[in-house]
Structure 1
Amino acid sequence: MTSIHSPQQLGDAIRTARKQLALTQPQLALAAGVGVRFVVELEAGKPSVRLALVLRVIDALGGEMALNGLPGVMAGAQREGHADGA
């Protein structure tokens, strides 16, 4: 698991995963249903990217986002029937 503490770290992690999967930025954009400019800005660490689109890119790379260390996150998710915390 990769800990992310800044937009730049998120961009670096996305770029590394994309390259490990031998995808170009346009290929990733197509797979995620986002524009190439979005992928470029995300990888550059732009702090104002849309979370919904970030999640689509992460999903297209085969990843998932998880929150750790927040009080009540798991208890609330389990009440809603989502044991995975999503």
Structure 2
Amino acid sequence: MIFPSGKNPPIETPSAFGARVARKRRALGLTQRDLALAIGVGARFVVELKRGKPTAQLGKALAAAKAVGLRLVDAADDGSSS
């Protein structure tokens, strides 16, 4: 798969999602504990998310993404609704 220069590859696996959240968290200067406290989960959840645990709860995973400013969009969505 080829990606335009400067673009992040799509998030297609739990580990890719966890890595992206971890990268954004570190860029914000947050510890795993800081993120856990911000979204109301235990630090273990943040560790498991970073490691790409495939059974991580989606709601909590999305809260973590939002907390670090990661915006998930459907790149194939052209904006029209069916």
The TM-score range, normalised by the shorter chain, is 0.7 to 0.9
- Structure 1: which 5+ runs fail to align? 80-86
Q: Within 5 A, what are the aligned runs for 1:58-73?
A: 58-69=65-76
Match of 1:37 among 31, 41, 44: 44
AA matched with 2:29: A
User: Percentage identity across aligned positions?
Assistant: 37
| Distance in 2 between residues matched to 1:12 and 1:62, nearest whole Å | 14
Higher helix share: 1
Q: Which has the higher contact order (CA 8 A, sep 6+)?
A: 2
| Distance in 2 between residues matched to 1:35 and 1:65, nearest whole Å | 23
8 A contact 2:21–2:70 mirrored in 1: no
- Structure 2: which 5+ runs fail to align? 1-6
The answer on 1:15 being equivalent to 2:22 is yes
Question: RMSD of the alignment, in Å?
Answer: 1.8
8 A contact 1:58–1:64 mirrored in 2: yes
Q: Could you say which residue in structure 1 is the equivalent of 2:4? A: none
Q: Could you say which residue in structure 2 is the equivalent of 1:82? A: none
The answer on 1:75 being equivalent to 2:80 is yes
Aligned length: 75
